[in-house]
Amino acid sequence: MYASDEEFNVAKERVNLLKEDPGNEAKLEMYALFKQATVGACNTSKPGAFDFVGKAKWQAWTNLGSLSQEEAKQKYVDIVQQLLDEQGVSVDGSTATADVSSAEEFKTLKITAENGIYKIVLNRPDKKNALTFESYNELVKALDIAGKDPSIVFATLTGAGDYYCSGNDLNNFMSATPETMKDMAKEGGELLNRFVSAFIDFPKPLIGLVNGPAVGVSVTTLGLFDVVYCTDKATFVTPFSALGQSPEGCSSYVFPKIMGSAKANEVLLFGRKLTAKEAFDRGLVTDVFPDDKFQEETQKRVDGYAKLPKNSMRLSKNLIRSTEKDLLHKVNDEECTLLEERWTSDECIQAIMNFFTQKSKL
């Protein structure tokens, strides 16, 4: 028994009740199922090379093949209900729970400040803490607040849930059109530049607590931290070449410096995924802890560091960083300029399209 037309229409209206963006995969699936249910199998020609969004939609619809309209209606109703349930949304649009764990000014982060420790938690566990444009801006703001607050000794950064951070939320790219691609690339490059600069310029010790897998920019920026601890379940990967992109986070300079050229190239050019031990051996992380002891052991160290003279640590940090701060900013500028070009290239667009196509088939 398939969904009736009335049930399908109700589901279509209930999409508007979703409180959070369900993500690219879900939106593409809903789009394809809606088209299949109302039109039938894909009957349009493939969009042009630079119509990024159009190609993603076309591919998702095409992948449904000969799925009947009745089956598509039922699948559409099912996915809408599943999303509503996951977000705790009732039929009247109310939410079962409310997230009040973060200060109101932060939507993607959880911030606490206690005993001189400014704790920043990437707080999108259902999205593996992928970074949206909002996340970038909020992290810049959080680091600025921690840097200027005289009561803060140092800051820590970790992730909620099982992931540290899965890198960029590729939803950032989905609103681009051929007409807006160049402007969006420029804006994205400027945002990334500010983001990385916030790490370069942070005036106090910064400690990374890598609680799980780390991807992309969340890996490259680790080279700008003062200390990095990770769980033995953490992994580190920078899939730039696979996505037609190039390094950022000053990793094109810092990684060869700490790992040696050959080992850094293996990570940055060929996307080798490092285990926690390999990251330790290559100098990317300071120490590795068993996963079941990670929170306990790192808290002990952090609490101990908070008792050290804060001005001494701040001045020492600035002395250490001052010798290459100008160089790091130069590297950051060059990396962001290249990325702006890569984001508008046919190679990058096709690589990201292939990524979405593969995900839609899973």
Where along the chain do its domains lie?
A: 5-96, 109-347
Contact 338, 246 (CB under 8 A): yes
Mean pLDDT of 236-262: 96
Question: Would you call 77 helix, strand, or coil by DSSP?
Answer: helix
What CATH number has the domain spanning 5-96?
A: 1.20.80.10
Query: Using only C-alpha atoms, what is the Rg of the chain?
Result: 22
DSSP state of 39: T
Contact 203, 318 (CB under 8 A): yes
- Please name the residues in contact with 293: beta carbons below 8 A apart, sequence gap of 6 or more: none
State percent of the chain over pLDDT 70: 90
Q: Is the pTM of the predicted complex or chain greater than 0.85?
A: no
Q: Of 182 and 359, which is predicted with more confidence? A: 182
Residues 302, 118: Cα–Cα separation, whole Å: 11
Contact 67, 60 (CB under 8 A): no
Q: What pLDDT, in 10s, does the model give residues 284-314?
A: 999 999 999 999 999 999 999 999 999 999 9
Residue with tokens 């089956």: 71
Question: Would you call 101 helix, strand, or coil by DSSP?
Answer: coil
Question: Which of 164, 136, 168 minimizes the C-alpha distance to 348?
Answer: 168
Could you tell me the pLDDT band of residue 97, with boundaries at 50, 70 and 90?
A: very low
- Please name the residues in contact with 237: beta carbons below 8 A apart, sequence gap of 6 or more: 213, 214, 215, 216, 219, 271, 272, 273, 274
Residues 8, 241: Cα–Cα separation, whole Å: 42
CATH topology of domain 109-347: 2-enoyl-CoA Hydratase; Chain A, domain 1 (3.90.226)
Mean pLDDT of 323-333: 97
Question: Which of 352, 326, 52, 344 minimizes the C-alpha distance to 188?
Answer: 344
Contact 176, 53 (CB under 8 A): yes
Q: What pLDDT, in 10s, does the model give residues 162-177?
A: 999 999 887 666 666 6
Residues 240, 336: Cα–Cα separation, whole Å: 13
